[in-house]
Amino acid sequence: MSTPPHIESIRLRQVNLPPKVVRTDAIQSFVTQETLLLTLRCSDGIEGTGYAYTIGTGGSSVLALLKDHLAPRLLGRNPLHLEAIWKDLFYSTHATAVGAITSLALACVDTALWDWRARKLNLPLWQLLGGAQARVPVYTTEGGWLHLSADELVDQTLAAKAEGFRGAKIKVGRPHVSEDVARLSAVRAAVGSGFEIMTDANQGFNRPEVVRRAAAFEGLDLAWLEEPLPAEDVAGHRQLREHTPIPIAVGESMYHLSQFREYLEQGACSIVQPDVARIGGITPWVKVAHLAEGFNVPVCPHFLMELHVSLCAGVPNAAWVEYIPQLDDITTSRIRVEGGYAYPPDTPGLGLEWDWPVIGKRQIADVKIDH
């Protein structure tokens, strides 16, 4: 048997990317995408690059956790031992986990290991994960923001429909329920039936208000109501489901598999939306998807379309990819979107071609770790 491969060196970079459009929702605005890149080089000469992101705070903390604690533990490890590495890193940071910073750091490591693995096996990620579907329906969130007027929403949703998208997301959470209803009704009247309208409250409501809003939204044929309540209020979500036929979607603010288990066990959601960066990488993301399949619940991941398209194509219960270009500035690869479907890349690895010269110019951190 040949010598097992081991991780020889690690390189960490941070690039800050401005969002392409102004993004506001019920609780926050998207200032800058702090993008953390981790490249590991193994003894077989193959490199794997993974990444995670924040929307404006915490990027330097993720980088510090990786540099000071996680990356040194990777040196010498066999990159095939993904599960062992994930568990070891998780427990090594136990006093700061479960938490966003730790999960984002774990995601950098885990996605890099999957990139290495898929390159090593010369397979595209979606086939390595199971090859469940060659294309995935796509909806757009590159619009629909809370500050936009009803007329602006109508114009951009009609444009999205004309481009071939099968659905669009509209933020809800204007001060009065009547404003939300007016905006959504205008869009529904314009696009007609058959085009999906997703809504997203970004955790902005309390229990009584969300029951009222959901009742007012009935008849608009919404595909789902996303994050209607604070993510930690599992019982509130379960109660809401008893009051409304609108599917309830949660997951972008969850950082561990056990949080999804809690929602699914309690029947507190209809759709799960794990974010591969916030859940800690591909290893836990796939577990969430399979767990949801066991509950006959679809997975519609949050953001990160460049990676989620491959994850969705890899599992049988993925229903939608969310269209928000995130990496155009620092990659040369582009996702193929045609006729309302997104197609996973067929190149080996994660399918991302990083533009290293551009990254070199724009990076605000570059750290190398080896023996």
Residue 223 CB, nearest approach to Mg ion (Å): 13
34 vs 226, which CB is nearer to Mg ion?
226
115 vs 200, which CB is nearer to Mg ion?
200
CA angle 369, 38, 101 (to 5 degrees): 100
Instruction: List the end-to-end C-alpha distance of the chain, in Å, as a whole number.
Output: 26
66 vs 170, which CB is nearer to Mg ion?
170
**CA 269 from centre of chain:** 17
Among the listed ranges 16-24, 103-111, 188-196, 226-234, the one in contact with Mg ion (CB under 5 A) is 226-234
Q: Taking CB under 5 A as the criterion, which residues in 179-208 touch Mg ion?
A: 200
**Whole-number Å distance between alpha carbons of 9 and 308:** 27
**Tokens (6 digits) for 36:** 């953390």
Among the listed ranges 8-16, 176-184, 223-231, 307-315, the one in contact with Mg ion (CB under 5 A) is 223-231
**Whole-number Å distance between alpha carbons of 157 and 167:** 8
**Whole-number Å distance between alpha carbons of 227 and 241:** 12
Residue 190 CB, nearest approach to Mg ion (Å): 23
49 vs 203, which CB is nearer to Mg ion?
203
Residue 231 CB, nearest approach to Mg ion (Å): 11
53 vs 86, which CB is nearer to Mg ion?
53
**CA 120 from centre of chain:** 25
Q: Which alpha helices (H) appear in 129-233, and where do they start and end?
A: 150-163, 177-191, 207-217
Among the listed ranges 188-196, 221-229, 231-239, 359-367, the one in contact with Mg ion (CB under 5 A) is 221-229
Q: What is the SS3 assignment for 265?
A: helix
Residue 280's identity, in one-letter code, is G
115 vs 252, which CB is nearer to Mg ion?
252
Size of the site for Mg ion (CB under 5 A): 2
Residue 252 CB, nearest approach to Mg ion (Å): 5
226 vs 306, which CB is nearer to Mg ion?
226
Q: Please, are residues 146 and 26 in contact by the beta-carbon 8 Å criterion? A: yes
Element (H, E) at 314: helix 305-314
Q: Taking CB under 5 A as the criterion, which residues in 37-76 touch Mg ion?
A: none
336: β partners: 343
**Tokens (6 digits) for 25:** 């929702």
49 vs 157, which CB is nearer to Mg ion?
157
- Torsion angle of C-alpha atoms 247, 248, 252, 254, degrees rounded to 10: -140
166 vs 171, which CB is nearer to Mg ion?
171
- Give the burial class of 76: count Cβ atoms within 10 A of its Cβ; 0-12 exposed, 13-18 middle, 19 or more buried: exposed
Residue 202 CB, nearest approach to Mg ion (Å): 6
- Helix 150-163 with 177-191: angle, nearest 10 deg: 30
**Whole-number Å distance between alpha carbons of 330 and 18:** 12
The half-sphere exposure of 116 on its side-chain side, counting CA atoms within 13 A, is: 30
Residue 183 CB, nearest approach to Mg ion (Å): 17
In Å, how far are 150, 182, 183, 220 from 186, measured between CA atoms? Answer: 7, 6, 5, 10
Q: Please, are residues 273 and 302 in contact by the beta-carbon 8 Å criterion? A: yes
Residue 302 CB, nearest approach to Mg ion (Å): 6
306 binds Mg ion (CB under 5 A): no
Residue 100 CB, nearest approach to Mg ion (Å): 15
Residue 303 CB, nearest approach to Mg ion (Å): 8
137 vs 251, which CB is nearer to Mg ion?
251
Q: Which residue is nearest to Mg ion (CB)?
A: 200
Residues at the contact surface with Mg ion, assessed by CB under 5 A: 200, 226
